[in-house]
Amino acid sequence: MAAARLGCLDVFSALYELDSMSLLNGTQPLATFFTNEIFSIVEAQQSGDRFALMRTLKAYSPLLTPEALMASPGRAHLAAIQASVDDLISLWTNETDPSLSQVLRRVASSMLLEVPERLLAWSSDEVQLGAENEELDEATQRRHDIIDQLLAAPFSQVEPLREYLAGRARFDTHQGVKGLEFDRVMVIMDDTEARGFMFKYEDLFGGKTEGKVLEATRRLFYVTASRAMKSLALVAYSSNPARVKRFVLDQGWFSEDEVFEDLPN
C-alpha cells in the first residue's frame, strides 16, 4: 500500500475508510483541515515565513475575517493571534511529535481555525459523542472508532499524506493509477497491509477459481499491470509463494528465470 511506504498509513487508512472518494479527489474536509490548514501554519511558523503564515491565516482563520478585525481592531488582536500560533507550535518542543488529537484541541481552544463539524465532538477535553445513556447504532459507532484511530496518529504523518494527495509521491494506490502510463511500474500486492475486502490477490494467484472478489481483483490487477509501457515488476506477498510462482508460470505470464521466490527463513 502506497501510504505505508510513505509513512502515513494510520492517517490515510482512517480517512480512506471514512470517505475514499473525497479523500482521493482532494475535497475531504477532515484531510484538508490537517494538510492544507494546520500543516501550512506549522510549516510557515517553523520556517520563519511570516508571509506564508499570514496568507494561510487570512485564508482559513475566523480570527482574521473582516468582521473579526472590525470587532477587534489594532495590534493587540494580531498579537493575540500570533500568541495562539506560538502556543500551537509549542506542541513540537524538544522534537515532540504530537498526535492529531493534541493538535486539534490546541487549535480549537484558541479558535485559530474553524474545526470541521465531524471533529467537533473530539475538539475539547470533554468528549461527548451522544446523549447520556444513548446507544449509538453500529454504523455511527464505527465512524467514531475510525475518528479515534485517526486522531491517535502522530502529526508527522500529515506531511507525507499531503505529498501523496498532491501527486508528488512515487507511489499511488492501485485504484489511483487508472488512466496513467509510466515507463517502469512495480505493483506491490499485499492483502494484509492493504486491509481491503473488495479485492484479494491471494484469490487471483490460484487461491480461488470464481467469485465477485476474484473478478474485482482481476480488473484491478489489469489496471495496475497495464500502466507499464516498458518494464513491469510484480511483488506479491503470499502465505503460499510456491503456489503463486506455479500459477504465473502456468499462465505464461513470465518465464522461469523471471520469477524469484523469496521464502521466509
Q: Which residue has the cell 493587540?
A: 76
| Segment 185-230, tens digit of pLDDT | 888 788 775 555 567 888 888 766 677 878 888 888 888 888 888 8
Q: Is the pLDDT of residue 154 over 90?
A: yes
CB 194 within 8 A of CB 1: yes
Average pLDDT, the chain: 84
**Which cell numbers hold the place of 92?**
513540537
Q: What is the pTM of this model?
A: 0.67
When mean pLDDT is compared across 39-43, 48-52, 91-95, 236-240, the lowest value belongs to 236-240
* Higher pLDDT among residues 149 and 215, named by residue: 149
Lowest mean pLDDT among 64-68, 72-76, 150-154: 72-76
pLDDT for residue 112: 96
Average pLDDT (61-67) is: 94
159-188 pLDDT per residue, tens: 989 988 887 655 565 655 666 777 888 887
Least confidently predicted of 22-26, 34-38, 134-138, 232-236? 134-138
What is the pLDDT, as a whole number, of residue 202?
A: 81
The amino acid present at 62, given as its one-letter code, is P
* Predicted local confidence at residue 132, as pLDDT: 47
pLDDT confidence of residue 174: 61
